[in-house]
Amino acid sequence: MGNLTRADLGDLNLFRVIARAGGFRRAALELDITPSGLSHALRGLETRLGVRLFHRTNRSVSLTEAGSELLARLNAGFGEIEEGLEALNGYRGKPAGRLKINVLTDAARLVLGPALSGFLAEYPEVRLEVVVQDDFVDIVGGSFDAGIRFGGRVPEEMIAAPLGDNLRWVMVASPGYLASAPILEHPSDLSKHRCIGLRMGTGAIYHWEVERGPERLTVTVEWSVVVSETALAIAMAETDGGIAYCQESLVAGRLKDGSLREVLPEWASFGPAFHVYYSSRRQVPQALRALIHYLREHPATQR
């Protein structure tokens, strides 16, 4: 191909993104360009190389043998470039560059939401992208620098650091619902109530775990409704829809003003804190180190 031009390097990186995303449409969304523009750039690259890099159909794209070989070499080469650029942060007064993280909805509200304005004010040269997603995500394959999940759900091969203390989980309902509902004296009484189930990002329905001293119980009932977002479960509970199970911090204000009441408070339980995690096989960006430090120095309970 001769000497690489700036356009060649740009198009080779576009090729990497298409391969990682598995198609033009997803890659175009990630790159914030049109699919037709991305397709045109790739055709130009293939013309200059004289080799087809993708097999294309109306529904999908897949790498050719040549494309697979090129991608492996490019990933190694661009990885070295990215690490070289990251190393320059050691010569700066403060971290700079782009940082992309994937977080649970609840973590976005409780951990990041209150902290990001302060972090970005302290580190104005960091360009941060936050993807809020409850589905299980391969952060390496998705080109994320880090993720935030509950401690018990972090992949084993990742390096993880807790962000704050363990989380208290509670059952809540509105005064209106409780006024007309059957008496609740023990978790076994929940079978007589409208309980709002939560489907996790893994696809499984979460069965409430409750404890009282040494006693541990898992609540299994006929859910009156199943939702995939905690905020919706809380909204339903607040409007007399039944009993929801959530982190205490999400409903602290409602418990204080009386719009929600804790159900069987002696049966609250504690679970692992939110953890930030990242690959052990990649150089940790200085901007990520700064974000982790900031979040740990400014825990949500103090904001």
- Residue bearing the bigger pLDDT, 235 or 93: 235
Q: Find tokens 């935030």 and name the residue.
A: 148
250-277: pLDDT as tens digits? 999 999 999 999 999 999 999 999 999 9
Compute the average pLDDT of residues 212-224: 92
Alpha-carbon distance 146 to 129, whole Å?
11
Q: What average pLDDT is seen over the chain?
A: 89
Alpha-carbon distance 186 to 68, whole Å?
59
Compute the average pLDDT of residues 26-49: 87
DSSP string, 118-165: HHHHH-TTEEEEEEE--S---TTTTT-SEEEEEGGGS-TTEEEEE-SS
Percentage with pLDDT > 90 across the chain: 56
Alpha-carbon distance 49 to 134, whole Å?
40
Q: Name the pLDDT band for 60 (thresholds 50, 70, 90).
A: confident
Going from the C-alpha of 249 to that of each of 20, 165, 236, the distances in angstroms are: 37, 12, 17
Q: Are 131 and 101 a contacting pair, CB within 8 Å?
A: yes
154-200: pLDDT as tens digits? 888 899 999 988 999 999 999 999 999 999 999 999 999 999 999 98
How open is the CA angle 262-267-272, to the nearest 5 degrees? 95
What is the crossing angle of helices 6-21 and 65-87, to 10°?
110
pLDDT reported for residue 301 = 47
Alpha-carbon distance 270 to 216, whole Å?
11
| Dihedrals phi, psi of 24, to nearest 5 degrees | -70, -40
Q: Name the pLDDT band for 8 (thresholds 50, 70, 90).
A: confident
CA nearest 152: which of 271, 9, 268, 58?
271
Rounded to two decimals, what is the model's pTM?
0.72
Judged against a pLDDT cut of 80, whether residue 53 lies above it is answered with yes
Judged against a pLDDT cut of 50, whether residue 302 lies above it is answered with no
Identify the bridge partners of residue 130 per DSSP, sorted by sequence position.
Answer: 101
What is the dihedral sign for C-alpha 179, 181, 184, 187? negative
- Ordered by where they begin, the domains of the chain are 6-88 (1.10.10.10), 93-164+273-302 (3.40.190.10), 167-270 (3.40.190.290)
CA nearest 164: which of 60, 256, 271?
271
Judge residue 107's burial from the number of C-beta atoms within 10 Å of its C-beta, 0-12 exposed, 13-18 middle, 19 or more buried.
buried
Alpha-carbon distance 166 to 211, whole Å?
15
Report helix, strand or coil for 27.
helix
Q: Find tokens 């990001």 and name the residue.
A: 116
Contacts of 59-62 spanning 24+ positions with Cβ under 8 A? 60/22, 60/23, 61/18, 61/22, 61/23, 61/24
Q: Are 99 and 291 a contacting pair, CB within 8 Å?
A: yes
